[in-house]
Chain A
């Protein structure tokens, strides 16, 4: 059990990043019935936007700011206006397929215009180790964990404590009623898209130094975030957070204690079991069926 602590910290760190991605995923689903199959690619792209800015000669901090702004513009506003809005009235499935096509397009665009090779990416957390309870733990894991938790706490506070958050939740629960009681539903939906874009940009910033920037890196990430969202509860922000942390930890423990070959299978089996016995997810509430 000597390295259990390491595994837990590393698992929570990646899990916290999954949680960021999964939260955005559930927000989009709740407010606009959008299943974004390109969510993984949404995490991949901001890192490349930042790298592109840095290649132009800008310092890292400026690249981060511009990268986040570009991400808000492209993945938030652009995604909503150009793809989701025209497709929303057609129902869930065509939109889901369109986001699959979007994922292909984004991957190919990065491969074509940037590079097919993996590029290193600077970390915003310094490298090095610290001693905790007599064990060496990497500062990077701790820093990523701390930052991700801070964002998650900030987001929960926004949703639960502020008036905008309450309006967003009202929109998520019942757009029609929300509109009647005077919530600017359209603006709230746009806000969730911008929050999603911000979260994926942040996740990109945190995870890319660990796994390098590669055009195909969104596939694994997107899948992990989907699983996290469903395991935790598709329609609950706190469910997505719990699911993300759980998947991160389970994934790391499985890699160490099960087999490296089948580590990817463990979260999937968890997913199937949970869907069969508790389809609404661990913390989710059942959705009413509409006929």
Chain B
């Protein structure tokens, strides 16, 4: 990314953040809801990006973790407990389950792991649906309150959107720090070549489990925001298709790229809305768009950008080389 230049990148970042804060101020209720949903799904997709993009493990259970977080928030806040307590419970619970679910990852690879997590996803859905005493089953939990943050009520859509955006900001900073820490470098080493990572003294077992557990915990974080966002949850949104959607978000945005989940979630959440004018055709067009994108660039949207920048850099480098060479040749 050196091609853009450091200051331009900072300016771009500030502009995007400013736009995210200012532009929605005159959005209507539905627009704010969609944007909040984008922020929430980005957090869940970031978690999956850590598992998939950095540690190279396919998980089809991220939707289930969002569900666990959402139910934790719904059950606890309707009992009068604060959301921050639910957040703690969700993180601990999802981290622990993610850690346990990571064990098969040590034994089996690729598609087998995908199917273990797929099985977990379906089991979680069955528990949400059938354990009426806890989750109220198919009737769902309604009147989920929105939290007070630092003394501000977030009942109205705009404050709640800022709450989601702020949470996304905190998670992004934490993730930014994580992937630059020795941990993150170990994750990347794990993805690129597990055997070499092992030979470099990286405890692959522990890091694989860690990537799974942290990724899952972020799914739980997204869930605790999702419940107060919709203020009503039932098992349906947390079925397998949410896990598949999240996986698509990560791949479409660009797995292993920091900003991949942001773009992927934008496409998965906003594109169907923009295509809504096509009425019943929007999901069809969305599916076709995803397929075409993957055929064109299997590394997602950021993969295209990355390729373009690499090409430019290579061209610039070979141009420099040519200049240097001609100078050498013309030198006396």
Contacts and interface: CB of A to CB of B under 8 A. Distances in A.
Interface of A: 35, 37, 83, 86-87, 90-98, 100-102, 104-105, 108-109, 111-112, 219, 223, 226-227, 230, 234, 261-262, 264-265, 268-269, 271-272, 275-276, 279, 289, 291
B298 interface: yes
B251 A97 contact: yes
B162 interface: no
A268 B122 contact: yes
B34 to A, nearest CB: 19
Given A100-B244, A264-B122, A86 B295 contact: yes
Given A92-B110, A109-B284, 19 more contacts: A35-B114, A90-B298, A93-B251, A95-B294, A97-B247, A97-B294, A98-B294, A100-B248, A101-B286, A102-B291, A104-B283, A226-B115, A226-B118, A227-B115, A265-B122, A271-B115, A279-B107, A279-B108, A291-B195
A108 B295 contact: no
B109 A289 contact: yes
B129 to A, nearest CB: 8
B122 A223 contact: yes
Contacts of B112: 230, 234, 275, 279
B5 interface: no
B53 to A, nearest CB: 11
B85 interface: no
24 contacts: A35-B111, A37-B244, A87-B294, A91-B298, A93-B251, A96-B111, A96-B114, A97-B248, A97-B290, A97-B294, A98-B290, A98-B291, A101-B291, A104-B287, A105-B288, A105-B291, A108-B283, A108-B284, A109-B284, A226-B118, A230-B112, A269-B119, A275-B107, A291-B194
Contacts of B195: 291
A101 B104 contact: no
B291 A112 contact: no
B181 interface: no
A112 B280 contact: yes
Contacts of B288: 101, 105
Contacts of B194: 291
Contacts of B111: 35, 92, 96, 234
Contacts of B294: 87, 90, 94-95, 97-98, 101
B177 interface: no
Contacts of A87: 294-295, 298
Nearest to A107: B283
Interface string B271-282: 000000000110
Interface in B89-143: 104, 107-112, 114-116, 118-120, 122-123, 126, 129-130
B290 A101 contact: yes
